[in-house]
């Protein structure tokens, strides 16, 4: 089989002595010298020598728009990869739930003052409990995600029943999220319609930092402390804020072909959220499903209230609350890194199509945990965007098949291992700050946008004349 590995690129750190748009005091932080993501092709010339219509990703590698079709992708996948087994999928649900129950039983009965008198040791062990339970519960979340895509089994009733139970147990509104997540899949990489981690454009970023467009070229680099603070807030509050206010999704609801978006914006209660049946995200026909999602949350909330009232709120925090925060962390981290990388483009609506958008994702690797606890959601995400109803246990084989079609357009960081996953969080936060077309791009290339930053990494932002 021919290799689908893509050539490494060389990071282009801006030289303050040659680029007058960057202050001389700019220096790349120790953590902001990222190992480069795979590229579609090697850079044939520096950014300053680029032809008007050439498209350059963040690191200056030339980008080519994907030219294959969805039919070619589907035809390349062996037929048996599409087969879904209810027995196999249910086995994984029971396995994960059994692990959660067994670990709780062991800690509840044996990590006690009677068996372990040392309080610091008990604290350390219960901390480990929250981490491990958070990982396993994330696996349950992924299985419910399979249900939402009808990849769990051939039965829609079974899929939605299992998905509703599992997601509700993790305080996720199953049908509400299933509908909005389906819209993400239909419009991945589309700046006007995507629902997940839609990047800021240049003017949106300038507005956020309180600067005029042309002043971006004069900004000093963002401090590592600011980056770390943003990451911390994202990991702690990103998921609930997405459910409540659609914080990382588009805010362009009036122009959508579906949903009741007229006059609506992202926000609480009357705005765009996942709990209100009249939210702009949904059609009138979805109202009962949204209410059913809310009912699931109400049932679980009542159970949690009973446990807290009966056994103590601190116990509930350790048993469920902190593991729940770990689940949120993993969901946000996984989703962020599936769609945010210096090698990935984003498209304006006029040049977007499904095949292009699905290729604007990247596979990564998280070792044993990624494969066996998170059910491969990190390692086979590119395939998942092309054919989302293939079950995770067939996804590796199907991924290998589509690489032959995608060729240079397939992106992966699997070679970095699980440590590379964490490094990529920092790199993407420092390097992927807003998107804009390659400077001088013409024609269709004007609608293909790439990440740029104020941290002196990679291709400098386009120069904008002062107004």
d(CA 375, CA 367): 11
Sequence ranges of the domains in the chain:
74-452
Query: Which residues are bridge partners to 346 per DSSP?
Result: 449
- Which helix (H) or strand (E) is 225 found in, with range? helix 224-245
The confidence score (pLDDT) of residue 261 equals: 55
Cα radius of gyration rounded to whole Å, the chain: 23
DSSP state of 372: I
Which residues, 6 or more positions from 240, have their beta carbon under 8 angstroms from its beta carbon? 328
d(CA 111, CA 129): 10
Chain centroid to CA 102: how far? 30
Tell me how far CA of residue 270 lies from CA of 276, 291, 298, 379, in angstroms. 8, 16, 20, 38
Residues 56 and 50: beta-carbon distance below 8 Å: yes
The confidence score (pLDDT) of residue 218 equals: 63
d(CA 20, CA 22): 5
Q: How many CB atoms lie within 10 A of CB 18?
A: 8
The confidence score (pLDDT) of residue 305 equals: 98
The confidence score (pLDDT) of residue 108 equals: 97
pLDDT digits (tens), the chain, 467 positions? 333 333 344 343 443 333 333 333 333 333 333 334 443 333 333 334 444 468 999 999 999 999 999 999 999 999 999 999 999 999 999 999 999 999 999 999 999 999 999 999 999 999 999 999 999 999 999 999 999 999 999 999 999 999 999 999 999 999 999 999 998 999 999 998 888 888 998 888 888 777 776 666 666 677 788 888 888 888 888 788 888 877 666 666 665 655 555 546 666 655 678 888 888 788 889 999 999 999 999 999 999 999 999 999 999 999 999 999 999 999 999 999 999 999 999 999 999 999 999 999 999 999 999 999 999 999 999 999 999 999 999 999 999 999 999 999 999 998 888 899 999 999 999 999 999 999 989 899 999 999 999 888 999 988 865 55
Give the up-direction half-sphere exposure of residue 9: CA atoms within 13 A in the CB hemisphere: 32
Q: What is the pTM of this model?
A: 0.83
d(CA 414, CA 381): 12
Give me the phi and psi of 7, to 5 degrees please.
Answer: -65, 145
Tell me how far CA of residue 288 lies from CA of 52, 276, 293, in angstroms. 52, 11, 9
pLDDT digits (tens, 9 = 90+) for 26-52: 333 333 333 344 433 333 333 344 444
Strand, helix or coil at 286? helix
Residues 364 and 416: beta-carbon distance below 8 Å: yes
Which residues, 6 or more positions from 372, have their beta carbon under 8 angstroms from its beta carbon? none
d(CA 436, CA 453): 10
- Lookup: tokens for 27: 């220096």
Strands, sheet with 434-437, edge to edge from the N-terminal-most edge strand: 345-347, 448-452, 434-437
Render 141-158 in DSSP notation, one character per residue. Answer: HHHHHHHHTT-S-S-HHH
Pick left, alpha or beta for residue 212 (phi over 0 → left; psi -120 to 50 → alpha; otherwise beta): beta
d(CA 286, CA 223): 44
The confidence score (pLDDT) of residue 248 equals: 64
d(CA 221, CA 84): 49
């Amino acid at each position: 089989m021919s290799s689908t590995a893509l050539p490494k690129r060389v990071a282009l750190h801006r030289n303050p002595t040659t680029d007058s748009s960057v202050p001389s005091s700019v220096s790349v932080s120790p953590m902001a010298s990222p190992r480069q993501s795979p590229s579609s092709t090697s850079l044939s010339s520096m950014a300053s020598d680029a032809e008007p219509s050439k498209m350059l990703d963040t690191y200056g590698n030339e980008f080519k728009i994907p030219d294959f079709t969805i039919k070619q992708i589907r035809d390349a996948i062996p037929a048996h990869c599409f087969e879904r087994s209810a027995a196999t999928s249910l086995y994984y649900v029971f396995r994960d739930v059994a692990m959660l129950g067994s670990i709780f039983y062991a800690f509840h009965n044996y990590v006690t003052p009677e068996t372990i008198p040392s309080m610091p040791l008990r604290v350390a062990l219960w901390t480990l409990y929250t981490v491990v339970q958070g990982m396993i519960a994330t696996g349950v979340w992924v299985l419910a995600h399979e249900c939402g895509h009808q990849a769990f089994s051939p039965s829609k009733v079974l899929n939605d029943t299992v998905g509703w139970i599992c997601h509700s147990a993790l305080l996720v509104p199953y049908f509400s999220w299933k509908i909005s997540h389906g819209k993400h899949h239909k419009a991945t990489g589309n700046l006007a319609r995507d629902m997940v981690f839609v990047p800021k454009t240049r003017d949106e970023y300038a507005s956020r930092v309180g600067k005029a467009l042309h002043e971006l070229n004069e900004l000093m680099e963002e401090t590592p402390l600011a980056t770390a603070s943003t990451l911390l807030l994202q990991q702690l509050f990103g998921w609930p804020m997405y459910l409540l206010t659609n914080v990382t999704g588009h805010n362009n609801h009036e122009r959508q072909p579906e949903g009741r978006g007229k006059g609506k914006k992202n926000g609480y209660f009357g705005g765009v959220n996942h709990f209100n049946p009249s939210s702009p995200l949904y059609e009138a026909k979805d109202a009962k499903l949204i209410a059913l999602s809310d009912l699931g949350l109400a049932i679980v909330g009542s159970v949690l209230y009973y446990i807290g009232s009966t056994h103590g709120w601190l116990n509930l925090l350790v048993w469920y609350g902190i593991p729940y925060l770990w689940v949120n962390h993993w969901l946000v981290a996984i989703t962020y890194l599936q769609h945010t990388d210096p090698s990935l483009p984003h498209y304006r609506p006029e040049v977007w199509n499904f095949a292009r958008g699905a290729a604007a994702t990247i596979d990564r690797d998280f070792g044993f945990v990624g494969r066996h606890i998170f059910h491969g959601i990190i390692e086979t995400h590119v395939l998942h965007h092309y054919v989302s109803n293939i079950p995770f246990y067939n996804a590796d084989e199907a991924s290998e098949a589509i690489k032959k079609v995608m060729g240079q357009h397939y992106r992966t960081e699997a070679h970095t291992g699980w440590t590379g996953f964490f490094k990529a969080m920092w790199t993407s936060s420092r390097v992927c700050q807003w998107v804009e077309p390659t400077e001088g791009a013409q024609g269709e290339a004007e609608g293909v946008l790439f990440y740029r930053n104020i941290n002196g990494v990679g291709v400098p932002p386009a120069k904008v004349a002062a107004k």
